[in-house]
Amino acid sequence: MSATRYAYLGPEGTFTEVALRTLPEAATRELVPMVSVPVALDAVRSGAAAAALVPIENSVEGGITATLDELTTGEPLMIYREVLLSITFALLVRPGTKLSDIKSVTAHPAAQPQVRNWMAAHLPDAVWESAASNADGARLVQEGRYDAAFAGEFAAATYGLEPLVTDIHDAVNAQTRFVLVGRPARPAAPTGADKTSVVIWLGEDHPGALLELLQEFAVRGVNLMLIQSRPTGAGIGNYCFAVDAEGHIADRRVGEALMGLKRICPKVRFLGSYPRAGVALQDVRPLRAGTSDAEFTEASDWLARNLDGRG
């Protein structure tokens, strides 16, 4: 395995590269762009890279399905940390291009919901085509295949383009969440401001089946931050659920919730427990009464005493 190599969704000039370079260890790693999320994650599986940074969620459209599906299937991988990045787009064009010249635009599919209204107002007749990434869209404009690309302004110099319009966003304060993914290993110790990600498969479909899964978290006071259904590929109506929960697998409330899910679900895939990005320990909401590790331990001790006849 190449311990010094980190893969990321490329080519050069993507928001993913910018997010990766915010990590302190990126300065001492070889950063290798990959053509797609599956290729980046397969580089980790094969040992060609120690880890890969990929987008997993944005604040406008929710989960990035390509990443969720890759983490759900195939050889298991694990999330070790997350990065939040504020997103605004620039309209990148070849030098000399005017707004009235633009008949075709391109970008990653996740960008379209974030610029749809701006495009309707300023480029109502332009045709949209999806690219593998926003930077790849810039490369395609450089090659003359499209008239313009929505990408980060920082990508303009890399591809010999000009930012015709900057600071484009339909939603103010839009963010994308990226995750650093590696091979499974022992999770880092809890920080007190953590997140746990799992994928859960439903068993027999019946009324209240999803509610039963959610109750495993609810009765233990575990707050859910994301839940998204994804088809399993086994036919219409067969779904699994990607879940992000507050807390760490080492926290009693989270660990017991996962054990409860393991008892009632045909499959549970643990994707990692890792620090929450942008959340300081003092900003973490207080635990509900009865859900701290100390209270779980007290309850276990009470049960043991009664089993021993000590009351």
pLDDT tens digits, 161-182: 999 999 998 988 889 999 999 9
**CATH class assigned to 187-311:** alpha beta
- Which pLDDT belongs to residue 273? 98
Domains 1-86+176-185 and 89-168 alike in fold? yes
The owner of tokens 């635009």 is: 105
- Mean of the pLDDT values across residues 77-96? 96
Q: Which CATH class is domain 89-168?
A: alpha beta
Res 1 pLDDT > 60? no
- Mean pLDDT of the 240-247 span: 95
- pLDDT tens for each residue of 250-262: 999 999 999 999 9
How would you write the chain as a 3-class SS string?
Answer: CCCCEEEEECCCCCHHHHHHCCCHHHHHCEEEEECCHHHHHHHHHHCCCCEEEEEEEECCCEECHHHHHHHHCCCCCEEEEEEEEECCEEEEECCCCCHHHCCEEEECHHHHHHHHHHHHHHCCCCEEEECCCHHHHHHHHHCCCCCEEEECHHHCHHHCCEEEEEEECCCCCCEEEEEEEECCCCCCCCCCCEEEEEEEECCCCCCCHHHHHHHHHHCCCCCEEEEEEEECCCCCCCEEEEEEEECCCCCHHHHHHHHHHHHHCCEEEEEEEEECCCCCHHHCCCCCCCCCHHHHHHHHHHHHHHHCCCC
CATH topology of domain 1-86+176-185: D-Maltodextrin-Binding Protein; domain 2 (3.40.190)
Residue-wise pLDDT tens digits, 17-43? 999 999 999 999 999 999 999 999 999
pLDDT at 310: 82
Nearest by Cα to 158 from 35, 17, 36: 17
* Phi and psi, residue 122, nearest 5°: -115, -25
Judged against a pLDDT cut of 90, whether residue 205 lies above it is answered with no
- Nearest Cα neighbor of 252 from 207, 210, 298, 211 is 298
Rg (CA), the chain: 22
Q: Quote the pTM value.
A: 0.89
- Tell me the domain boundaries of the chain: 1-86+176-185, 89-168, 187-311
